[in-house]
A and B are shown apart, each in its own frame.
Chain A
Amino acid sequence: MKKTLATMALAATMVAGPVMADLVFPSLSYRTGPYAAGGIPFADGYADYFTMLNERDGGIGGVKTKLLECETGYNTEKGVECYEATKGEGALVYQPLSTGITYQLIPKTTADNIPMHTMGYGRTSAANGSVFTHTFNYPANYWNGASIGVNHLLEINGGDIKGKKVALVFHNSAYGKEPIRTLEELSKKHGFDLNLVPVDHPGQEQKSQWLQIRRDKPDYVIMYGWGVMNQVAIQEAANIRFPMENFIGIWWSGAEHDVLSAGDKANGYKAITFHGVGRDFPVFADIKTHVTDKGLAAGAGDQIGNVLYNRGMYAAMLAAEAAKTAQGIHGTPNIDAGMMRDGMEALEITEEKMVALGMPNFGPSFKVSCMNHGGPGLGGITQWDAASKTWSLISDFGPSDMEVIQPLIDADSAAYAEENKIEAGCK
């Protein structure tokens, strides 16, 4: 018996040996719990892109990729367990898709020298790379999102929103509270009234909030919601006959499953985005030939082309490009987490690259640097068409108001640096 056990252990290590040489991308996903509706398409997109790279190109720079999936259920305790379970396996970059887990992992990943990419979520001031050395949130963050929303309001009002009433319906958590300061600054600058309407986790019950909105009659509603909260809010907005074209969600409140349940009444609902929507990109042909047709699709395989699927795919693409950059910098295909960090900090995305990857106009061109881990902060507005059940981009990727945002980033990151005695500076 002992002998068999020993042989088995030996065989296991022999199998595990070459596996260690893979490029390991952990996926802290959530396919269960109140936020699963958003977690599943993102996780599928993230997984499918790496599968496609393996099948089509034989991995990145000739080294196969390996996806380690770990279920967090959007729960911080499970997030810690997942992080500890995967970090020893050569994890290159973490993407927890949860602001709560991000806050925990910022110091941990820094201490363990593993980069973390929080694309469009997490701690916004991590854009200041001189303080947050291992955290990246390119190409856009929450505060950019808030500003892009306000810019859209300016645009449809001919540049003047003085005296307009704007309500912010937000998930009453770290995530939902993030934009408040930016919006307060913007309301001072542009002279609109800001009204805060918090919704507690998980957000299934919003009668009183929407009653308040019905009474206050704001001109516009901006929403920072996630999970089941989005569907309920859109349904409630429809119930009080709030004009949908004046209702703008952040990018986490603008996917198919958020609007479908409200049916025709959701027509015209808007959402902010930082990447392309729909499946009108050449990359989807590759995913079909190399992933779905071979039966390798992650999950049920029914999410392809959804907004959040695209976002997961975009995140995977940025990670893969950063890995390529790292391989170039360090001259070895077998990079480790520290090299991956260098690759992320030197990442440059150009339109030519995007075209070559089969994603023309899918996202903005940008360049990451040590001082700026946040990218350019460009974003556009999408609108839901209930008849054809599609999202479509109704604006270009425009800039956000960095004049307001940059001082906020500097102040918040300086506070973090002082609290944790970090010496800010770029090597």
Chain B
Amino acid sequence: MFYREAGDYKTSYTDDGQTFPIKFDRYRYYFVLFVAFALIPFMLNDYWVNAIFMPFLIYSIAAIGLNILVGYCGQVSLGTGGFMAVGAYACYKFMTGIDIWLGGVQYALPPINIFLSVILAGGVTAIVGVLFGLPSLRIKGFYLAVATLAAQFFLVWLFNKWEWAYNYSASGQINAPERFVFGVPVTGPNTEAWATYLFCLVFVTIVAVLARNLTRGASGRKWMAIRDMDIAAEIIGVNPLKAKLTAFAVSSFFIGIAGALFFSVYLGAVEVGEAFGINKSFLVLFMVIIGGLGSIFGSFAGAAFLVLLPVLLKNVLVGGLGWPTDLAAHLEFLIVGALIIAFLIAEPHGLAQLWRVAKEKLRLWPFPH
């Protein structure tokens, strides 16, 4: 009744090709944007932003990035943590001013605006991602997973070892100094809840719209052709070199942005082994798998599931029921693990598939025949 193509007349190709061709989808999209931009910022406090919204938004970006590579292009990657680290350290260098020693003379750029730093960090990560994506032209599947695993360990080792990357600080930690957007602090300790939230939300929106349109267009179709059968794709004229490397570049660009925001806005201080270890790679991969491979909505759903559920369980078990914290922490693992298994048995294609099924049902509702 509400959700259908019929009766939604289009009079131009532009209309027909818009991001959400179905009216219900479009209004839902506007509604979500309205709530996210105009309502939520007024209802936030520090806890909601720092414990719930910020991790959700940032992991959503990372999950969208990985989903492009794994879900759309079919190239398995276990290097997400390492690529996030590249984003974080690149952002740190840009926001504090890059210095280069040439022939004993130090050349230093002035610190770059935080918004541009984050974008540039994504760019640096894209280059690194392409470098580590090169083996994907020769190796596939599990072997590629192992190659990206090597990237993960190499990058973490690099940022632990390379003193220039952390400005020679004694402990190897990087700290985000205070930086402003339009005079409002978005990093550092004196931030307002709404400012950091909006800063991340802007990036999430840009990334999601970009990803949605890329995957609908020619490049997305090429990625999917490579994913479904690379030889057939090559025969119909898809250049695997270009398709795979663009997937790595776009994916790493998004993951780099996620890493930069994760460090500068969310945590404020980061240590590479602890924040960007192999666990992070698995966490983002699980988000993509649970949310649904090859779905932008799935990336959001997966990130929400794995970020919000532990916080919710903790608040119910410790805050609500007053159980000991260690018991609650162990139970949290059990419950989240059991739910993951249950979900994947009930719906192997992830949370996004539930949404797809719901949409199919909506198309027919209320007359299913």
Contact = CB atoms under 8 A, between A and B. Distances in A.
A419 B175 contact: yes
Contacts of B269: 76, 100, 103-104, 106-107
Q: How many interface residues does chain B have, given as a range?
A: 35 or more
B307 to A, nearest CB: 9
Interface string B292-322: 0000000000000000000100100010000
B127 interface: no
Contacts of B230: none
A227 interface: no
B106 interface: no
Contacts of A108: 189, 268
A84 B47 contact: yes
B267 A77 contact: yes
Interface stretch (A65-73, A205-213, A244-252, A326-334): A65-73
Contacts of B188: 107, 420
A84 B50 contact: yes
Contact of B189 (A40, A84, A110): A110
B172 A173 contact: yes
Contacts of A107: 175, 188-189, 268-269
B329 interface: yes
Interface stretch (A148-156, A175-183, A258-266): A175-183
B273 A172 contact: yes
Q: How large is the interface on A (under 10, 10 to 19, 20 to 34, 35 or more residues)?
A: 35 or more
A181 B273 contact: no
Given A31-B325, A76-B274, A81-B51, A419 B170 contact: no
Contacts of B96: 419
A103 B311 contact: no
Contact of B267 (A40, A70, A80, A299): A80
A420 B178 contact: yes
B159 to A, nearest CB: 11
A327 to B, nearest CB: 28
Interface string B192-233: 000000000000000000000000000000000000000000
A1 interface: no
A158 interface: no
A421 interface: yes
B8 interface: no
B275 A76 contact: yes
B160 interface: yes
B267 A71 contact: no
B55 interface: yes
A141 interface: no
A415 B173 CA distance: 13
Contacts of A70: 318, 325
Contact of B177 (A103, A123, A174, A419): A419
Given A81-B50, A104-B267, A201-B277, A111 B190 contact: yes
Contacts of B274: 75-76, 100, 173, 201
A85 B325 contact: no
Given A181-B170, A420-B188, A73 B46 contact: no
Interface in B220-277: 266-271, 273-275, 277
Contacts of A100: 173, 269, 271, 274
A80 B51 contact: yes
Contacts of A110: 189
B152 to A, nearest CB: 13
Given A32-B326, A107-B268, A124-B170, 11 more contacts: A70-B325, A76-B267, A100-B271, A103-B175, A104-B267, A104-B268, A107-B175, A107-B188, A201-B273, A419-B96, A420-B177
Interface of A: 29, 31-32, 36, 40, 69-71, 73, 75-77, 80-81, 84-85, 87-88, 99-100, 103-104, 106-108, 110-112, 123-125, 172-175, 177-178, 180-181, 198, 200-201, 299, 412, 415, 419-421
Sorted from nearest, which 10 A-B pairs have the closest CB atoms? A31-B326, A107-B189, A111-B189, A174-B171, A71-B325, A103-B269, A81-B51, A84-B47, A32-B329, A104-B269
